[in-house]
Amino acid sequence: MLFSAFLAAYGLYLSLEIDKRFSGRRWSIPSKVFSDTTMLYPGQQIQRVSLEGKLERLGYRKVNHKPRAKGEMRFSPNTWELFLNDLQIPHAKRQGFPLQLTFEGNRIASIADLRTGKPIPLFELEPELLMLFFGPTREQRRLVSIKEIPEHVIQAVLAAEDSRFREHIGVDPWGILRALYVNLLHGDIRQGGSTITQQLAKNYFLTPERTFSRKIKEVLLALTTELMYEKDEIMEIYLNEIYLGQKDSISINGLGEASYFYFGKPAGRLTLDEGALIAGLIRAPNLYSPYVDKERSALRRNTVLLAMNKLGWISRDQMEQAASKPLRPSGYEIYRRKAPYFVDYLSSQLATLYSAEALSSLGFSIYTTLDTEAQRAAESALSRGLDRLSPTVSQKDPARKPQGAVLVMQPKTGSILAMVGGRDYGESQFNRLTQAKRQPGSAFKPFVFLTGLDRFTPATLFSNELRTYDGEGETWTPRNYSPVAESAVTMRTALAKSINLPTVDLAMKVGLDQVSQTARSFGFSTPLAAYPSLALGSSEVIPLELARAYCAFAAEGTLPQPLSVKDVTDEEGNVLERRYMTLERVTTPAKAFLITSMLRSAVEEGTGRPLKAKGIDFPVAGKTGTTNDLKDAWFVGYTPELLTLVWVGYDQGQPLPGPGSEIALPIWADVMNGMRQYLSGRWFKVPPGVLRKEICIESGQLALFSGCLQRRTEFFLEENSPKEPCSLHGSHNPLDRIIQKAKDLIRNF
């Protein structure tokens, strides 16, 4: 009586425990971070090797036959056939279908739907997995519903583990008797004889030791579970729970994840032989893994197939056909966090929304702006660039190695396409783009010149004479980086050739407070002290903020918000968080254009000239930066499509072997050369409010054809464009004008 009461109470306790465990969230699913998708369209320039690599990273497999299943691809010299995988992202859903890409050199000539032969104007490739937010258990799992799993896969699991699952009540007496017999025979625990329900109870509630008291608990739990749940529910929990292999340090759990790990497909598409292989793994996943020993794996699979045949679930023909199939595991990449600095930055953004525990357990999908091709271009360019410095720097002490950082953004949307925050994430996780504060040097000058555009024009002359200024409690005498003989230079020349003295002259004329205010409106969060040296970039800035501020020049004067996260969805695909490109106007389109135009001069005629020799044959606006004692080397450059910032320097501030044009610029060229497919080669549209006028170089006033020998065209803001004719070469005396005209005629004759 007492025993019955105890048993009833214990049963109630167990049922509450089971209910608590099974009715709540059953598993911790790490959130996944994805790159952006990739658009492909006819006429696009593409590096075929890169595209092939991308397809492989996305799990596409080369086959020798015409692709018949999702994820298969066949290559011939100028034709690629792909059976696209399904695409399911927050803004687009697409069923996989076969298509054909044809190439002419490195250009996509055409894209056609192989089902209909019709041309396809563009399509998206799936995003790449960048990272998983693992919890302490480092489990990877993909949940699958019992309704999606083919019957032959369930039968394979039953044949391998518990063929009487449908009949027993959670415990199989025959199995227990068999196990008892074996264990008594050996005087030790040799066999479990557990049913699937018992295995589940063991995994969920019990410790792994093999004692008789634990066995009794397991039996009671199994019986209670069977009373509480339907067979299909138990089977579904089991199939999502079981451990099925190891991918480096990460455990593969559940049939859904195992299907991708071993065969690169969802569980719903597993064939009989594949299902039997996975079922055979349950007993000892790493022993029977096809990645460990194909022969042993095939033998185990065939044992399962034989068991299925004996149970009458498959015919002899089906068994023989499946058993004769060669093992073709899909292959996998060892999990490696990609774009680690970007992911850290992203995590810091997400930390304001979700706790670390939520990210490691709730199975969110986080879609980002990262472009894996741009990231690879940035990583390899920085690595090569820093290696080029090797002969001149110490490589022995990691702390004394030069560091570098590269950021690639889309200036109009603010999307961060690539972020490399240091030379080696393994050595240093300090992100020099988001956490460092460095002097920008001349890379700051555009903000000085922008401030001056209210009063001056690109043609205005500024003094190039040595002067001493008061500031910071002492006097300061700026000097040019290299000698410039002229006593005055135009604004355009001063910016293009990065001449210090006229820059300071301009800054003092417009007012340092004004310069500081302009810069702050461009989003700099660091203090910008209104000292004369501010004009030459002596105030430290965060590189990401510098890149963002330059974006405004490329985006018609609108400052974009840097974007890394696009969408966050829950496991069901419901959008939890969505971030868009947003714009904030910080200057007029006309002024932004004038700065861009002068920065183009910097590339074509000034400090950025070496770009041409490095293969940059398309129009670019850009600015070098070098700080005192060569502590920092910068190059920030942009086209209408892309903006790239490169910084090189030592964490400890040792001098570099050269200026920005020698150290940072070649890396910039390398990055952009690796991203040709993103560039149109076109230039910015001249916005309203900008006038093009011919001026006299000497006076900066409207050129007189008859008097000014040195003329050129220049852009002006409509409100302060020159309206007066050249006073140096023109005369107000009508007689002189007639004489001048006559001289012009004679000269032209």
Residues forming the active site: 161, 442
When binding is defined by CB under 8 A, the residue of 302, 708, 717, 722 that contacts other proteins is: 708
- Between 141 and 497, whose beta carbon lies closer to other proteins? 497
Q: How far is the CB of 58 from other proteins (least distance, A)?
A: 18
Q: 252-275 burial, b for 16+ CB within 10 Å, e for fewer?
A: bbbbbbbbbbbbbbbbeebbbbbb
Residue 534, C-beta contacts closer than 8 angstroms, at least 6 positions apart: 444, 507, 512, 515, 516, 528
Q: In this chain, which of 606, 608, 622, 725 binds other proteins, going by CB under 8 A?
A: 606
User: Is residue 589 close enough to count as binding other proteins by CB under 8 A?
Assistant: yes
- Residue from 269, 412, 437, 467 touching other proteins (CB under 8 A): that is 412
- Of 148, 540, 577, 604, which lies in the binding site for other proteins, with binding defined by CB under 8 A? 604
Is the torsion defined by CA of 354, 355, 357, 360 positive or negative?
positive
Q: For residue 691, with 0-12 CB atoms within 10 Å meaning exposed, 13-18 middle and 19 or more buried, which class applies?
A: middle
Span of 22-30, 219-227, 459-467, 533-541 interacting with other proteins by CB under 8 A: 459-467
Q: What mask of x and - would describe binding to other proteins in positions 496 to 515, judged by CB under 8 A?
A: xx-x----------------
CB atoms within 10 A of CB 446: 25
Q: Site residues for other proteins, window 302-321 (CB under 8 A)?
A: none
Cα–Cα distance, 97 to 74 (Å, whole number): 14
Cα separations in angstroms, 366 against 343, 369, 725: 11, 10, 61
Q: How far is the CB of 635 from other proteins (least distance, A)?
A: 18
Short-list 350, 389, 441, 349, CA closest to 628: 441
DSSP 43-111: T-B--HHHHHHHHHHTT-EE-SSPP-STTEEEEETTEEEEEPPPEEETTEEE---EEEEEEETTEEEEE
Of residues 352-371, those binding other proteins (CB under 8 A): none
Q: Near other proteins by CB under 8 A, which window of 241-249, 326-334, 604-612, 657-665?
A: 604-612
Closest to 313 (Cα-Cα) out of 276, 258, 266, 285: 276
In whole angstroms, how close is the CB of 26 to other proteins at the nearest point?
32
**Tokens encoding 542:** 């965060």
Toward other proteins, which CB reaches closer, 280 or 458?
A: 458
Nearer to other proteins, 471 or 687 (CB): 687
Sheet with 643-649: list strands edge to edge.
416-420, 403-409, 643-649, 632-638, 621-626
Q: How far is the CB of 336 from other proteins (least distance, A)?
A: 27
Say whether residue 91 binds other proteins (CB under 8 A).
Answer: yes
81 vs 556, which CB is nearer to other proteins? 556
Q: Which two tokens stand for residue 529?
A: 């002290």
Strands 61-62 and 72-76: parallel
Q: Which stretch binds other proteins (CB under 8 A): 127-135, 268-276, 646-654, 724-732?
A: 724-732
* Cα-based distances in Å from 447 to 76, 167, 432, 599, 738: 52, 79, 22, 12, 45
- Residue 87 makes contact with other proteins by CB under 8 A: no
H helices of 525-664, in order, are 543-554, 589-604, 610-613, 660-663
Give the alpha-carbon dihedral of 645, 647, 651, 657, to 10 degrees: 180
Which of 662-683 are b and which e, b meaning 16 or more Cβ less than 10 Å from the residue's Cβ? bbbbbbbbbbbebbebbbeeee
For other proteins, the closer CB: 352 or 713: 713
Total residues found in the chain within this entry: 749
Distance of CA 646 to the CA centre of its chain: 17
Segment lying near other proteins (by CB under 8 A), choices 39-47, 62-70, 217-225, 396-404: 39-47
The answer to whether 530 contacts other proteins (rule: CB under 8 A) is no
Is residue 727 a contact point for other proteins (CB under 8 A)? Answer: no
N-term to C-term CA, the chain:
130
Q: What letter would DSSP give residue 655?
A: P
Exposure on the CB side of residue 259, measured as CA atoms within 13 A: 21
Residue with tokens 């306790």: 13
Select the span of 18-26, 275-283, 390-398, 723-731 touching other proteins (CB under 8 A).
723-731
SS3 state at 239: helix
Q: 197 vs 601, which CB is nearer to other proteins?
A: 601
410 touching other proteins, by CB under 8 A: yes
Does position 182 interact with other proteins (CB under 8 A)? The reply is no
280 or 414: CB nearest other proteins: 414
**Phi, psi values for residue 273, rounded to 5°:** -65, -40
> What phi and psi, each to the nearest 5 degrees, are found at residue 160?
-80, -30
Taking CB under 8 A as the criterion, the residue among 605, 617, 629, 719 binding other proteins is 605
Region of 136-144, 328-336, 481-489, 522-530 interacting with other proteins (CB under 8 A): 481-489
Taking residues 370 to 409 in sequence order and writing x for each that binds other proteins by CB under 8 A, - otherwise, the string is ----------------------------------------
Minimum distance, C-beta of residue 352 to other proteins, in the bound complex (Å): 21
Structure tokens given for 658: 């050269």
6-25: contacts with other proteins (CB under 8 A): none
Interacting residue with other proteins among 12, 688, 705, 745 (CB under 8 A): 688
Binding span for other proteins by CB under 8 A among 15-23, 293-301, 577-585, 665-673: 577-585
Nearer to other proteins, 503 or 533 (CB): 503
Q: Which is nearer to other proteins, 490 or 626 (CB)?
A: 490
Of 490, 533, 569, 607, the one binding other proteins by CB under 8 A? 490
547-566 residues in contact with other proteins (CB under 8 A) are 556, 558, 566
Q: Rule CB under 8 A: is residue 728 a binding residue for other proteins? A: yes
Binding other proteins (rule: CB under 8 A), the pick from 3, 212, 580, 749 is: 580
In whole angstroms, what is the distance from residue 547 CA to residue 77 CA? 41
Side-chain-facing half-sphere of 218: CA atoms under 13 Å: 26
CA nearest to 292, candidates 306, 280, 309? 280
486 binds other proteins (CB under 8 A): yes
Contacting other proteins within 111-130 (CB under 8 A):
121-122
Instruction: Decide if residue 684 touches other proteins (CB under 8 A).
Output: yes
Using CB under 8 A as the binding rule, the residues of this chain from 614 to 633 that contact other proteins are 619
Interacting residue with other proteins among 18, 323, 405, 489 (CB under 8 A): 489
The region of 308-316, 440-448, 584-592, 662-670 touching other proteins under the rule CB under 8 A is 584-592
| Chosen residue from 376, 401, 548, 600 binding other proteins by CB under 8 A | 600
Report DSSP state, residue 149: S
Instruction: Decide if residue 27 touches other proteins (CB under 8 A).
Output: no
**CB-nearer residue toward other proteins: 194 or 457:** 457
Question: Binders of other proteins among 635-654, rule CB under 8 A?
Answer: 640-641
Cα–Cα distance between 729 and 534 in angstroms, integer?
37
- Measured from the CB atom, the residue of 612 and 682 that comes closer to other proteins is 682
Task: Please tell me the distance from the alpha carbon of residue 180 to that of residue 657, in angstroms, as a whole number.
Answer: 78
Output the smallest distance, CB 479 to other proteins, in A.
16
Q: Which is nearer to other proteins, 84 or 489 (CB)?
A: 489
SS (H, E, C) 379-391: HHHHHHHHHHCHH
Instruction: Give the one residue of 142, 714, 717, 725 binding other proteins; rule: CB under 8 A.
Output: 714
Question: Does 38 contact other proteins by CB under 8 A?
Answer: no
686 is a contact residue toward other proteins (CB under 8 A): yes
